[in-house]
Amino acid sequence: MLKDIAYSLVLGKPLVLWLGLATAVVAAAAVTVVLLNNYTQVRVPIVWHNRLAAVAVVLALIHIALAISAYI
């Protein structure tokens, strides 16, 4: 069942691919918050780093579960 969900097509590509890309983008955004706060005049509340990191972890866990489902 998970395999069917993981490899259902969204815009011509499997869902697991889109989840992986979303995870990478959210993780990069979390890193960007830290870099902006440390190296520029721009200040982003650090709570956004925590929120983005939590979202990245959740997306990564879903991505991993769907990717592994193809092999079990």
Q: Identify the pLDDT of residue 3.
A: 80
Q: What are phi and psi of 11, to 5 degrees?
A: 55, 35
2-42 pLDDT, tens digit per residue, is 788 888 889 999 989 999 999 999 999 999 999 999 999 98
Q: Can you tell me the distance from the alpha carbon of 10 to that of 6, in angstroms, rounded to the nearest whole number?
A: 10
Instruction: Give pLDDT, residue 5.
Output: 81
Domain of residue 11 covers 2-68
Q: What is the pTM of this model?
A: 0.85
- The pLDDT assigned to 72 comes to 83
Q: Are strands 9-10 and 13-14 parallel, antiparallel or unpaired?
A: antiparallel
Number of neighbours of residue 32 by Cβ within 10 angstroms: 15
How many domains does the chain contain in total? 1
- The predicted pLDDT at position 58 comes to 97
